[in-house]
Chains A and B, each alone.
Chain A
């Protein structure tokens, strides 16, 4: 009986894996804005190399971002971002591992735009935090477009903003994420 149970549960896991429908992209776009209220210049950057997988069956969702791929309008700012703020030699990647909590509300087989609640672990600058992110999932044929906008406190991720630039760099960064995923 125990063996049977084991076999059944093994099979179950195997089938989940087998029928898993995965959507993937490596050219997602993430941008952030950490401009302080009265800053004369914008503190923002864009990264068009976001890797992202959504598993339609299990609701698992992962993102991965290379810090050095963020482009700034000012090159010097980009260098400071990598050298002083994100220490990207030490912490080259940021990643998110999570799950769509309301998977039953999202129908991957029917075209439409669905609101998704995603929770999971966000790692930035070597610090991992639990986050809840609201977003949308738009299904069209066998492509999926994900969008999310949320805000992080830089302090939570041990990103120090020296007093000297506190009038330019805010305490929070608003992160905007967009990806067009295709079925794998």
Chain B
């Protein structure tokens, strides 16, 4: 009896000590773990929610080639193949200079517009810390359509072609699935239709996404104009831009399928110069495709011979 008791005690002693040891070692790791700030990542899948910028930045040394199409209005009927005959395109190249600063340029066939922007991340959402991510995005665009024929003595200035937009992007990832973003914006139009209208439009945008599966998310974006909402553009009334989309993620791409009443994809066009309305069914179907390339490899991969392109 005593022997068996001895054996039992010894064995159980050894056994518990071995399991307890591994656990206590693990606790040792946990207890002394250096406290690191855990940044919240992937608030949105792409650097654009739909038309407007999201708080997502490209990483340092990442180049993003973006192809975006917006077709004509769906209600154009079968003679224009429900808008597919009047497609417009924006080609863009974005680049991440640092992890908090990205720049981009693009060309849109609509209004033959060239645009450029910079996006700076000022605050970053931290788990159990900073509740929001805050970025600033500033863009400038040049409309390069031919100058109108003017009366003799009138002068067409180059500055007439310029537009500026500034936005603050305030976003929070509420859960794995739900992210929301607010975008106070001011757009400056160097040229407006008539002196009745202000050159500045103040707007507030709201956007968000709901993930429906690990690789798909439904997105939405609405820009409400607080001022200048009655502005005419090229003689026709303008509407607030409302867009809904579906983000689909494949290997190295993000596809964004879009329905929007704005055919324009630059900040100044969709915020203040959207001339179609959901009410009339004048929607544009479209998509954004993004393909990223790693130009500057992370330091861990400096020696890797993997082809960049």
Q: Spell out A's residues near B (CB within 8 Å).
A: 1-2, 5-6, 9, 12-13, 16-17, 20, 22, 24, 26, 41-42, 46, 48, 51, 53, 55, 58, 60-62, 64, 68, 71-77, 79-80, 82-84, 89-90, 95, 97-99, 120, 162, 164-165, 168
Q: Which residues of A contact B251 (CB under 8 A)?
A: 164-165, 168
Question: Do A58 and B304 have beta carbons less than 8 Å apart?
Answer: no
Q: Spell out B's residues near A (CB within 8 Å).
A: 2, 5-6, 9-10, 13, 16-18, 21-23, 25-26, 28-30, 33-34, 38, 41-42, 58-59, 62, 176, 214-215, 249-252, 292, 294, 297-298, 300-301, 304, 306
**A interface, over-half SS:** mixed
Tell me whether A73 and B304 are in contact in the complex, defined as CB-CB below 8 angstroms, given that A51-B33, A64-B29, A84-B249 are known contacts.
yes
Question: Do A84 and B214 have beta carbons less than 8 Å apart?
Answer: yes
Q: Which residues of A contact B9 (CB under 8 A)?
A: 5-6, 9
Shortest distance between the CB of B254 and any CB in chain A (Å): 8
Shortest distance between the CB of A115 and any CB in chain B (Å): 21
Q: Which residues of A contact B28 (CB under 8 A)?
A: 22, 24, 53
Shortest distance between the CB of B162 and any CB in chain A (Å): 33
For B173, give the chain A residue with the smallest CB separation: A89
**A64 touches which of B26, B58, B62, B176 (Cβ 8 Å):** B26
Question: Do B294 and A75 have beta carbons less than 8 Å apart?
Answer: yes
Q: How far is the CA of A48 from the CA of B298 in the complex (A)?
A: 13
Question: Do B18 and A62 have beta carbons less than 8 Å apart?
Answer: no
Q: Which residues of B contact A168 (CB under 8 A)?
A: 251
Q: How far is the CA of A38 from the CA of B42 in the complex (A)?
A: 29
Q: Which residues of A contact B17 (CB under 8 A)?
A: 13, 16-17, 58
Q: Which residues of A contact B292 (CB under 8 A)?
A: 74-76
Q: How far is the CA of A42 from the CA of B59 in the complex (A)?
A: 19
Q: Which residues of A contact B62 (CB under 8 A)?
A: 75-76
Shortest distance between the CB of B90 and any CB in chain A (Å): 21
